[in-house]
Homo-oligomer: A and B are copies of this chain.
């Protein structure tokens, strides 16, 4: 018996297992979240997994084609009867035969990741690109033979003045059956934006047409399924971006593509599958047929954009960060691997603003419309990267800032993604220095007597992105952290919750008998780096415009919706502004996608605006580094924050080591 390394994604849990171990058993022994209902009998298919293949340098394994056993009789029977999607295997039947990387798809996880991109109820204007036209088609005549398609075209021209339409091959395939099923009366869904027939249904069909507004992020993919006749959101949902198994953040995915021949293709296939899964799942939630979805509008950052299109993103990883294409992309949804939608469903991808400022930022610009306001507005879209827009009716500028993933809980000692059990809100009493907090999945604060019982199911598992921001800001407000970002000792702060870890201090948020969750000095450094980058980007845009302050700050992005403006300003993530002028736009990118889905004039509007937006490249701006260094302090070394009021004037610098102190002082100048 040889032992093999088995790594489960997205959790990254790994272990060694003997040849012949069923994948489900391996998952259970590692505590991997893999569902199973039938007890491993190959019936329920809840334990479906997707094995990876090839070289995984980040994981340090190479997976051969025969690392999983051939399908056995049980699995083959399931496949024949019910059908396994390509690449999928039953975890209870497939056994380990070599080193393995196994992806656990979202639908096989019992506790699915909470994708915090909720549907917005914001209204949209209506002028959908796809409309339905009913026609009666002449029947075929042997004495004047012509194709069914040609007679359909003639009817569309005669009755609706529609001519020169593109009819995709997939639509043509179903044409003859549909014409006969409808007794020569059919309803044709025509995309007027691309002059393409999206679907043909028999009879005089009154049912609405549907569209998907998709926000494809590096970490999560969220979508709204909309009724195109009303703009209503019928279902919303999100899943993890399965590309995570190739690299946590954008640059590690670009590296994966550079280092693995064909690696970009693997990532393309993974995200396309995920889009298909999400579309099917939303259609099911809404109780409609996926084949009635005639359009998809997609927003995403440039790396996701290229990987979705199947373009190697390698150029986006190095100056001058050239996009393969920057204009809006109109193409068949099937070209994006979208199966299951209407045969001729069309996809529209918003234009990209620059190599680091993508179609998602364009969607934010469409949603927030800074170009229609007299106020000088800063719009910050905080995701794995941050994109910034600054402007008003006169001009709009854009840049991106390399914040890294700290704001999403990565690089944080107790950091985790937003999932049940994660600390998401923190308050620290300035006098007692004692914290209270809330976790995802429970509405009670931790000082509520019922809290322990209410969180018994999820446990308290770590700190998510919004939690760490609140924690650090509250620590600063409570005088536990000084302007340089140093955590004080128990002696300096007067609380035993400050505990030494090597030469630095940590603050204990929570502990029980087996574990404790702290904010460490390293965590604060990570947050300082991220927030400095964000602030420096904003300052750079303000320099370009020639202003020292802004009228309004809008926090966009799923994450932005969970940051309190006050905490963000205490940290110095954003420039000083009246607190009431700092607001959240919710998932502005998703809303922009929905606007473009429901109103085709919005596509022309954003294409025009993107052409007019002035792009600022932070990587080559000499002042960016300068702004970055000055923004390291909390909230800032030099810029005033008059709207914030005074913060505790503590300084823990004198107590720490000389080398560290001196470097800290230099940075803070």
Contact = CB atoms under 8 A, between A and B. Distances in A.
A17 B169 CA distance: 43
A177 B264 CA distance: 14
A142 interface: yes
Nearest to A80: B65
Interface stretch (A314-322, A361-369, A405-413, A531-539): A314-322
A310 to B, nearest CB: 6
A310 B173 contact: yes
B311 A355 contact: no
Contact of A169 (B150, B169, B173, B310): B310
A325 interface: yes
A49 to B, nearest CB: 20
A354 B314 CA distance: 51
Contacts of A327: 147, 149-150
B142 A620 contact: yes
Contacts of A496: none
Contact of A70 (B70, B173, B321): B70
A325 B615 contact: no
Contact of A325 (B141, B144, B149): B149
B312 A176 contact: yes
Contacts of A30: none
Contacts of A323: 145-148
Contacts of A314: 176
Nearest to A334: B335
Given A147-B327, A354-B145, A173 B66 contact: no
Contacts of A324: 147-149, 172-173, 175-176
A357 to B, nearest CB: 8
Number of copies: 2
Given A147-B324, A148-B322, A324-B149, A309 B142 contact: no
A434 to B, nearest CB: 50
A326 interface: yes
Interface residues of A, number: 48
A619 B312 contact: no
A315 B176 contact: yes
Interface in A113-150: 139-150
Given A70-B70, A147-B326, A615-B145, A169 B321 contact: no
Contact of A145 (B142, B145, B169, B321): B321
Nearest to A167: B325
A150 B615 contact: no
Interface string A521-535: 000000000000000
Interface in A558-572: none
Interface in A306-362: 309-312, 314-315, 319-327, 331, 335, 352-355
A313 to B, nearest CB: 10
A352 B148 CA distance: 12
B150 A325 contact: yes
A147 B322 contact: yes
B320 A176 contact: no
A14 interface: no
Nearest to A336: B169
A661 interface: no
User: Which among A76, A141, A145 has the greatest number of chain B C-beta atoms within 10 A?
Assistant: A145
A617 interface: yes
Contacts of A325: 147-150, 172, 175
Contacts of A140: 320-322
Interface in A170-210: 172-173, 175-177
A352 B146 CA distance: 9
B310 A142 contact: no
A204 to B, nearest CB: 22
Interface string A497-538: 000000000000000000000000000000000000000000
B615 A143 contact: yes
Contacts of A331: 169
B322 A176 contact: yes
Interface string A592-618: 000000000000000000000001010
10 contacts: A65-B76, A142-B617, A142-B620, A143-B617, A145-B323, A147-B324, A148-B315, A148-B323, A148-B325, A150-B325
The 6 closest A-B pairs by CB, nearest first: A147-B326, A140-B322, A145-B354, A149-B325, A147-B325, A147-B323
Given A147-B352, A172-B309, 20 more contacts: A65-B80, A140-B322, A142-B355, A142-B620, A143-B615, A143-B617, A145-B321, A147-B326, A147-B327, A148-B322, A149-B326, A149-B327, A150-B325, A150-B326, A150-B327, A169-B309, A169-B331, A175-B311, A176-B312, A176-B322
